[in-house]
A and B are shown apart, each in its own frame.
Chain A
Amino acid sequence: MTKKWLAYAVAALGLVSPALAQSTISFGYWGDPPELPPFEEIVSKYQAAHPDVKIEIQHAPWSGYFTRLDSQLAAGAGPDVFFITNVPSYASRGALAPLDDLIKASNFPIDQYVPSSLLTHSFEGKLYSIPRDSAPSALYYNSDAFDAVGVAYPNADWKWADLRDAAIKLTTTEGGRITRYGLALESNDWATWVQQNGGKVFDDPLKPTTFLLAEPAAVEAIQYIGDLINKDKVTPNFLEAEQAGGTAQLFSSGQAAMVITNPSRLGTFADVPFKWAVANLPGGPTGIHSNRTGGAGFAINANSKNPEAAWAFLQYLAGPEGQSIFAGAKAAAVPAMTGNETVRAAFKAPFGDVFLKEADVGEQFPQFPRFVDLSNLYIQPALDLVWNGESTAADAIGGIKDKVNAELAK
């Protein structure tokens, strides 16, 4: 008798369950093992709240994520919702669904995001991805090294001159060889310095008409970095830093007393054998605070077979709940939804206030389809001359000004 009932129950379940699993959407993202928990938590919470939706996870390593995504998109496939950077390149190919109408129709709180961060995720005035994080840089410093040399810790009032002074005092040499650099910098952060000095790389980072890096304010900023490397010799050349394992390794191994780098280093530096802390970036000579903006976001595949379900999931993923989960994770990302109190409160990363303050002054770096070419052909080679001490910033950048402007006029 019981057997019979059991059989009925199984049959009933069999009838019910296909009706439950109505829609399946796929969700693609990258991440190394410490970065994965918030993604998994969001998927399981969403599925628990929406039993009629099944989310298929498509995880890939960072190194192969875009290769796979490109192949999938070229074949008219790919996940319905995916994690993405470099939005213009994908939006210009028509791979991403525009979000503005959906946002308006659903009253999605898009005004709670850092405006400059939204620019990063737009193409030709339309939003294609909702940013998860902004990745502002901050100044990490080795407190033990500061104590040993007797220099006061960095504070929010620091300006370029203070940074340079400290870097000089913190640099140590032994037999003519530098054993500790005062300050290590990332090679792709130079535009931040231009902004801090009141300069610009282009008149408009997304739709440029004029190249402004040869203007005095910008040249001064580039020369400041060049001097730290070649004149003061307190900052390693970018190539040298890379060969030593990167700026994070220089800092972890005590070979650099300060480093300006991204928030993910909070995790990298967790186990280093000395005391350290994080401070805001120094202001420019006139006190301008500026940072980069960027980070990754979530987009909907233009080819999605199930755009409604994808948008519903994206609203959760990129909305206050999802953003709070990301902000509260162990390997937290500095949230882009800084206008939301719940998200702000969930972000409990060490030195969270420092990062939020930096996120608020984030400015869009140049990002337009031809920028990569212009950078490879002209801007980077000119900057390399300065970094290598082969030319002054004024000469190197002055030499490419007309060429870049001519390219922009095309």
Chain B
Amino acid sequence: MGKTATDWVLFVVLLIGALLMSGPFVWMIATSFKPAADVFQFPPTLFTADPQVENYVRIFSTIPFGRAMANSLVVSVLVTLLQLITCSMAAYAFACLRFRGREVLFLIYLAALMVPSQVTLIPNFILIKSLGWIDTYQGLILPYAFSSFGTFLLRQYLKSIPAELLEAARIDGASHAQIYLTIVLPLAKPALGALAIFTFVAQWNNFLWPLITTTKPDMQVAIVALATLQGQYNTDWPLLMTGSVIAIVPVLLVFVFGNRAFIAGLTTGAFGGR
């Protein structure tokens, strides 16, 4: 198959886009190896003549970064799992069950999407504080166990499952728990995968809530720990970029493997062969 002219135009446009998108990443990685004096050198250079590999060791001794990465992983993974469970159950109810007031209830639930998180920040903080959950994992995790966005996303997806399929299962004597576990969840894999990626990345990058509800260095998540490298007057840019490179790895892994599961989910399932 020969390439047409449009293919080439598309290729060039995509290439430019890819370069633009990867530019900051390349710069971040290059900066992580620079000595401090080279960072704002003019004219700028991408590669330093004096690479500082020890930055990747220094970051762990300068701030408790290993612990912070572990905290981030625990929080992000657990929040993602919890949201997958709660959102899919709620979505099942909103999409597959029939009950009085369902649409109104869903609308009210959706309205929560319209409330900016800044508005609920202080009330949430007071709640967590009175529960004695400052500096605890439950304080970091449980406020994010539910998500109206996730429920909305999954409900829209579950709506596309033919009602006859679920009715057939009912007639065969399956309980709601069985239908949810054996029919709906497997079918919803692509949507669950998408939600998992969104949630993990959002949690990993979440700054404000962990900043406010943790006061001990031991409980800091990676993003907050990185911010401590930025001083009022001075910032150790190479070290900050080193930390950023390390902090981006889990997100990258989730993306790479999540994407594969995401595509696999699209092609398998009950209707894959139809």
Contacts and interface: CB of A to CB of B under 8 A. Distances in A.
B136 interface: no
Contacts of B234: 32, 34, 264, 267-268
B95 interface: no
B211 A60 contact: yes
B121 interface: yes
B42 interface: yes
A268 B230 CA distance: 13
A41 to B, nearest CB: 16
Interface in B90-136: 121-122, 125-126, 129, 134
Interface stretch (B11-19, B67-75, B185-193, B212-220): B212-220
B236 A32 contact: yes
A262 interface: yes
Interface in A1-59: 26, 28, 30-35, 56-59
B228 A59 contact: yes
Contacts of B217: 57, 59
B185 to A, nearest CB: 38
Contacts of A76: 126
Contacts of B122: 71, 74-75
A265 B234 CA distance: 8
B230 A32 contact: yes
A67 interface: yes
Interface string B233-262: 111100000000000000000000000000
Interface string A256-282: 000000101101100111000000000
A164 to B, nearest CB: 25
B207 to A, nearest CB: 7
B62 A33 contact: yes
B211 A68 contact: yes
A72 B42 contact: no
Given A31-B231, A273-B37, A71 B42 contact: no
Nearest to B61: A33
B52 to A, nearest CB: 12
Given A33-B62, A265-B233, A67 B40 contact: no
Given A244-B40, A245-B40, A252-B37, A67 B208 contact: yes
B215 A56 contact: yes
Contacts of B35: 271
A32 B212 contact: no
Contacts of A32: 228-232, 234-236
Interface string B26-58: 000000000111011110000000000000000
B63 interface: yes
A364 interface: no
A64 interface: yes
Contacts of A350: none
Contacts of A75: 122, 125-126, 129
Given A32-B236, A57-B216, A58-B215, A253 B40 contact: yes
Interface residues of A, number: 41
A303 interface: no
B158 interface: no
A28 B36 CA distance: 29
Given A33-B229, A245-B40, A64 B224 contact: yes
Contacts of A268: 233-234
Contacts of B142: none
Contacts of A271: 35-37
Given A32-B235, A33-B236, A72-B212, A61 B40 contact: no
A64 B233 contact: no
B28 to A, nearest CB: 16
Contacts of B62: 33
A217 interface: no
A35 B215 contact: no
A26 B232 CA distance: 22
B227 interface: yes
A273 B231 CA distance: 23
Interface in B133-155: 134
B229 A77 contact: no
A106 interface: no
B121 A71 contact: yes
Given A30-B232, A71-B125, A75-B126, A64 B211 contact: yes
A262 B217 CA distance: 28
B62 to A, nearest CB: 5
Contacts of B228: 31-33, 59-61
Given A32-B236, A60-B228, 14 more contacts: A32-B235, A33-B228, A57-B217, A61-B229, A63-B230, A64-B224, A67-B211, A67-B212, A71-B212, A74-B125, A75-B125, A75-B126, A253-B42, A268-B234
Interface of B: 35-37, 39-42, 62-63, 121-122, 125-126, 129, 134, 207-208, 211-212, 215-217, 224, 227-236
22 contacts: A26-B215, A28-B215, A32-B236, A33-B62, A33-B236, A35-B231, A61-B229, A62-B230, A62-B232, A63-B227, A64-B207, A68-B212, A71-B122, A75-B129, A79-B215, A245-B40, A249-B39, A255-B42, A264-B231, A264-B234, A268-B234, A272-B37
